[in-house]
Structure formats: structure tokens, C-alpha cells
Amino acid sequence: MTIGLTHYLVVAAVLFAAGLFTMMTKRNAIGILIGVELVLNSANVNLVAFDRYLGPGRLDGQITALFVIVLAAAEAALAVGICINVYKNLSTVDVDTATRLQG
């Protein structure tokens, strides 16, 4: 069996679903961040796979993937900052305890 584009797309789709599942089930803010990273990486797998299989001489997808990685790093830094801010206020990063805002 040769590995084709579809296989990569399936792997990406599984990553995407795993990321969404992680975000919905984790209660720790860092756990949710890991879910976001999984979803972002599913996009990267897709981009690089399309790049490889659409034909030679393309770099758009790989460059896009690089930028998505940079964005993921920026978001991770911000997430940690926001988590520290919450920890100072609530002494925990469990999102279930953050219930002041409910209308």
C-alpha cells in the first residue's frame, strides 16, 4: 500500500478531532491549551501534505505552516500569561472554578 494524500488528511482530521475533544473534556487551562495546539497542528499537517501532493515547485503550504507555528508559539506565551493572571486571582487554573460570570 502506498501512502497518499488521503492518509495524511485522515491523520490531520484525527488530530483535529482529538484537539477538539481535549478542549471539551479538560478542566485545567494548560490542558485546554494543549488541545488548541493539536488543532493548529492538524492544519499544519494538512498544509504540508497538500504542498507535497499538489505538484512540484510549491512552497505556499510550507511557508503557511511555518507562520502557523509562529502563531501557535505566540498564543502559548499569551496563554501562560493569562493563566498566571488567573492563578493570582483564584489560586487555581481549573476553569470550572471560574464561575463569576453567569447570567
Partner 1 sequence: MIWNDWLVALAPEWILLVGACLSLAVGVTRVSKWASPIALATVVAALIVAIRLDVPRNGDVLPGLWLTSLTFYVRWITLGLGSLIVLVNWHQPAANERGEYMSMILFSLLGVLLTASANDLVVLFLAIELVSIPTYVLVALSREDARASEAAVKYFFLGALSAAILAYGISFLYGAAGTTTIHRLVGDTVQSTLRTNGAIGVPMLIGLILVFAGLSFKVAAVPFHAYAADVYEGAASPVTGMLGFVPKLAGFVALCKILTALDWNLPSEVNWMLWIVAAATMTVGNVLALLQKNVKRMLAYSSIAHTGYMLIAVLVGPVAGQGPMRDGVAALLFYIVVYGAMNLGAFALLACFKTNGRDVETLDDLGGLARRAPASALALAICIFSLMGFPPTAGFLGKLYIFSSAFSLQPNHPMHGPLIALAIIGVANTVIGAAYYLRIVAAVYMGGETDTATPVGGRPVRWGLALCSLPLLVLFAWPTGLTTQVRTATTILHHSIRTGSRRVAAAIDSVRTAPTDVAPATVSQAAATYEHHANP
Nearer to partner 1, 10 or 54 (CB): 54
State the DSSP string of 60-101: HHHHHHHHHHHHHHHHHHHHHHHHHHHHHHHS--BGGG--S-
Burial class (CB in 10 A: 0-12, 13-18, 19+), 83: middle
For residues 36 and 45, what is the distance between their CA atoms, to the nearest angstrom? 15
Backbone Cα Rg of the chain: 17
Nearer to partner 1, 10 or 63 (CB): 63
Bridge partners (DSSP) of residue 94 are 28
Bridge partners (DSSP) of residue 28 are 94
Asked whether position 57 contacts partner 1 by CB under 8 A, the answer is no
Asked whether position 67 contacts partner 1 by CB under 8 A, the answer is yes
Asked whether position 22 contacts partner 1 by CB under 8 A, the answer is no
Binding mask 78-97 for partner 1 (x = CB under 8 A): xx-xxx-xx-xxx----x--
Asked whether position 60 contacts partner 1 by CB under 8 A, the answer is yes
Residues near partner 1 (CB under 8 A): 12, 16, 19-20, 23, 29, 32-33, 35-36, 39-40, 42-44, 46-47, 50, 54-55, 58, 60-61, 63-64, 67-68, 71, 74-75, 78-79, 81-83, 85-86, 88-90, 95, 98, 100-103
